[in-house]
Amino acid sequence: MGSLRVFSTLTHDARIFVAGHKGLVGSAIVRRLTSYGFSNLVLKTRAELDLLDQAAVRDFFREEKIDFVFVCAAKVGGILHNSRHQADFIYENLMISANIIQAAALYDVKKLLYLGSSCIYPKFSPQPIPEEALLSGPLEPTNEGYAIAKIAGLKMCEKFYTQYGKCFVSVMPTNMYGPNDNFHPDHSHVIPGMMRRFHEAARGGASSVTVWGTGSPRREFLYSDDFAEAALTVMESYNEPGFLNVGTGEDVTICELAFTMAKVVGFKGEIIFDSSKPDGTPRKVLDVSKVKSLGWEPQISLEVGLRLAYEWALGADAFSLSPESRVVQVPGV
């Protein structure tokens, strides 16, 4: 028995491809679709379908007769990894986006949902950031490669919508966290990276733990299950060539995040801020009024979400594996 919610765009017999289903975002969408009783999901590992291979992606769409696509596959990483591998980030994300969007158009996908990211807005955008701020100023240099590729994907969807009438729409999620995140100490985003560091400090009885940057940047965080519900809402009822921001509309400083993390993980020592590490963009909280007007609201507070993510990480042994074995290549935004 699935949860109760009436769907009209997504039909229960539809073939739904979730690209990147093993990652943070894709796995949350699969959990949510499954809980609503959608069983005709098409899921492919990287070994089964290389999204960088245009011919393989075209063959896949021709053979599988896909109705709906959630594009959660992307090469992603936290601030340090992103800034040091910009060639890989621009190339892989351009290829993944172009291959999927073009093949979906060619083989008559009914609707496609593409994921951008709040970090692709200009570095100094008005706060909260409205959708109109896209391409209105210079980008944050630490993730310019990633941002250019994601902007291209978003614009491809818009242009395929206007030129060919393809219902390809996008969402612009804020920083997300949750199960199946990447807990690598250096490659990860701030929540899993910090969680790992605090966990190891607490378990090892360390007197202090180091947090990157000055602690003053502000970030907005959304639990992946809340995002998944928003993604289904947008897939159901947003039909315009464009995109919608998805976030909580509220942010905290990295310093506040660190104190909440200490509470969740049970770390009682000193927190040291290492200002030799990059801060990144000073602030990027989203204006979420448009997505909220579709009837969606986030349900999970930051502290509750951090507890859920920590429970998941402990249960999945996410901290005890060697860092290299935890590197996930296609985990969503």
Among 78, 128, 153, 305, the residue binding ligand GFB under the rule CB under 6 A is: 78
Q: How far is the CB of 141 from ligand GFB (least distance, A)?
A: 10
Give the count of alpha carbons within 13 A of 299, CB side only: 10
Distance in angstroms (rounded) separating the CA atoms of residues 256 and 226: 21
- For residues 258 and 271, the answer to whether their CB atoms sit within 8 Å is yes
Among 44, 111, 166, 189, the residue binding ligand GFB under the rule CB under 6 A is: 189
- Considering only residues 166 to 185 of the shown chain, the ones binding ligand GFB according to CB under 6 A are 175
Give the count of alpha carbons within 13 A of 305, CB side only: 22
Residues 6+ apart with CB under 8 A from 132: none
- Tokens encoding 95: 């290829």
Catalytic residue among 114, 146, 161, 177: 146
CA dihedral 192, 194, 200, 204 (to 10 degrees): -160
E strand residue ranges, 98-248: 111-115, 168-173, 175-177, 208-212, 218-219, 221-223, 243-246
Indicate whether 211 belongs to the interface with ligand GFB (CB under 6 A).
Answer: yes
Residues in the interface with ligand GFB (CB under 6 A) total: 26
User: Is-catalytic flag, 310?
Assistant: no
Among 19, 22, 71, 82, the residue binding ligand GFB under the rule CB under 6 A is: 82
Which residue lies nearer to ligand GFB by CB, 27 or 142? Answer: 142
- Considering only residues 244 to 283 of the shown chain, the ones binding ligand GFB according to CB under 6 A are 254, 277-280
Contact segment (CB under 6 A) with ligand GFB among 152-160, 188-196, 303-311, 323-331 equals: 188-196
The sign of the torsion formed by the CA atoms of 58, 146, 26, 48 equals positive
Helix, strand, or coil (residue 17):
strand
Distance in angstroms (rounded) separating the CA atoms of residues 206 and 188: 22
x/- binding map, residues 11-50, to ligand GFB, per CB under 6 A? ----------------------------------------
Residues 6+ apart with CB under 8 A from 134: 120, 121, 151, 154, 172, 243
Q: What are phi and psi of 241, to 5 degrees?
A: -70, 95
Among 146, 243, 267, 296, the residue binding ligand GFB under the rule CB under 6 A is: 146
Which residue lies nearer to ligand GFB by CB, 143 or 180? Answer: 143
Q: How far is the CB of 331 from ligand GFB (least distance, A)?
A: 11
Which residue lies nearer to ligand GFB by CB, 211 or 234? Answer: 211
Among 20, 217, 241, 331, the residue binding ligand GFB under the rule CB under 6 A is: 217
Cite the active site residues.
146
Contact residues for ligand GFB, defined by CB under 6 A: 78-79, 82, 117, 119, 142-143, 146, 175, 188-190, 193-194, 197, 211-213, 217, 219, 254, 277-280, 333
